[in-house]
Structure formats: C-alpha cells, structure tokens
Structure 1
Amino acid sequence: MAEGFLTTHVLDTARGCPAEGVVIWLYHVSGNSHRKIAEAVTNVDGRTDAPILPAGKFRPGTYELIFHAGDYLRASGQAGAEPLFLDQVPIRFGMAEETHYHVPLLISPYGYSTYRGS
C-alpha cells in the first residue's frame, strides 16, 4: 500500500539559486478552520530536511503552505519599500490520494509561481 507524504522547496528566481532560511508553516484546512500542523525552514538547497508532512501523518484533505518570503527577501537584500509586495505567500491545495505530493515555490520580490512537482 502506498503512503502519502508532502515535500516542498523554494527557489529564488531573481537570483537563480535555492532560497535558504525560508520559514514554512503547514496548515490543515477544514471549512473556515485552519490548524497549524507543521513548521520547517529551508536548508542550503532550498528544501526542508524531511517531508513537511511525513507518511505517518498524511491524511487526504485540503492544506495550506505559508511561505515567509518577506523575511527571506529582506535577509537577501532584495526587499523593497515596506510594506513588501510579497511577504507571506499562501498556497492552498488538495491532496486526494495516498501518494507523494511536492509543492514548490518559485519566488522573486514581485512574483511567484507554483506547480505540482515530483
């Protein structure tokens, strides 16, 4: 039987490198309820050291990753005037199957994108 789990990473598209030191919060979302279930920080490769939602804790449902991009942009010297155009970047998504989900963030000071990776 396959077990689901969730991984993520952050790439700095303005500088062309992994984004180290980005704080990421993971929430389980149910209706109007948000429950924080995990927190991680990206390493030198822009990845978390372990799945942000490991197989043993995986449940199908709706989730939200909050990437604290503003702190990273300030620390890397890319921040503009306050308030920043992008500070906390939320990505809400659903996981319906017991499989590996990978939700990366590609960030720059004035834009971001995401996709379902592998």
Structure 2
Amino acid sequence: MSTSTGTTASSTGTTASVSTHILDTSVGRPAEGVAVGLSARAGREADWRALGGSATDADGRCKDLPALPEGTTHVRLDFAVEPYLEKTAKKQADAQQDAPANRDSGPGVFFPEVAITFAVVPGEHYHVPLLLNPFGYSVYRGS
C-alpha cells in the first residue's frame, strides 16, 4: 500500500475520494460537531489504516477529510454520534419539560457509534450521507 500523502484523487484520477455529511432527521437539521474518522485498506484481507478525521460543521459536512492512499479498495467512516445525540436529547427534553428524555430505562443513546464500510474504485468520488435519529440511521451513496 502506498503511503503517499498530499495528492488528492481529483488531481490525479488514480485514487478514490470520499465526502460525507450528517442530517439529524429527528429535528430536520444538519448534525454539527460530530467527530468522523476515516480508515482505508488495500484489499479485503488487508489491515485497516487510520488516515485521520474531521468533525461536521454547521452544515453537517466534513470538508477536510484526508485523501485516500493509492491502492485503496475499502473505506470505513466512523461516526462518533453519542455526544451529539446526548446533547440533542437534553435540548429537546429542556424544550419539552414534561416529556421524558428517554423512551425507556436503558442507555440514553441507542447507537453510540456508526461505522460504515464500503468498496471503492480509483478515480471515483464517493459521497456517503448519514441520516441519523436517536433510534436509527440510514446511509446511501449520494452525489
């Protein structure tokens, strides 16, 4: 696996590129301040290599994810959603003082992390949005 850095897929066409954003469907707004980690591997049996990460901005977007190394075949996005969902649940509970903050006596956050793994091919761009709510999530290949 190549360890070159500083070259993006858009300038060389030899690697894939990745972007993401998060929409909180429970409030119909972007999810700001969620940490997102990016890992890659070259082949199904290869070890994952952490490349770095970012956090979502006010529009729910990560605009500065690291470039993928040449030879990348699989990518993993790790979303640390627990702090965001805890903060959002508290805000909603404060706004509706008579409504319970949790549906049951279990943990306050059902999905503390979301890990999305997908295959890539060189030269392609992959935009992978996360639609998030306290008790579910969905992802898709966007444009």
Matches of 1:5 and 1:62, distance apart in 2: 11
Q: From 62, 67, 70, give the equivalent of 1:54.
A: 67
Partner of 1:77, secondary structure, is: helix
- Residue identity opposite 1:35 in structure 2: R
| TM-score of the pair, normalised by structure 2 | 0.71
Aligned residue for 2:138? 113
Shift of 1:115: 0.5
Q: Is 1:91 matched up with 2:116?
A: yes
Is the aligned partner of 1:42 residue 2:56?
yes
Q: Is the 8 A contact 1:7 1:53 kept in 2?
A: no
Amino acid aligned to 2:51? I
Letter in 2 for 1:116: R
Q: Number of matched residues? A: 116
Match of 2:18 in 1: 6
Q: Residue type matched to 2:29 in 1?
A: C
Stretches of 4+ moved more than 3 A in 1? 1-4, 57-60, 78-81
- Structure 1 residue 77: Cα displacement: 2.0
Q: 1:12-27, aligned counterparts within 5 Å?
A: 12-27=24-39
Q: CA separation of 1:75/1:82 partners in 2, compared to 1, >3 Å: closer, same or farther?
A: same
Alignment RMSD (CA, Å): 2.2
Secondary structure of the residue aligned to 2:38 is strand
Q: 1:33 to 1:46 in 2, by over 3 A?
A: same
What is the SS of the residue equivalent to 2:84?
A: helix
Q: Deviations over 1:74-95 (max 9, x none)?
A: 1212674426310110101011
Q: Helix, strand or coil for the counterpart of 1:33?
A: coil
The superposition leaves residues 1-54 of structure 1 with CA deviations (integer Å, 9 ceiling, x where unpaired) of: 64631110000000000000000011113526222112100000000133x243
Where is the helix percentage greater, Structure 1 or Structure 2?
2
Q: Which runs of 5+ in 2 are unaligned?
A: 1-11, 91-100
Matches of 1:71 and 1:97, distance apart in 2: 34
Per the alignment, residue 77 of structure 1 pairs with 89
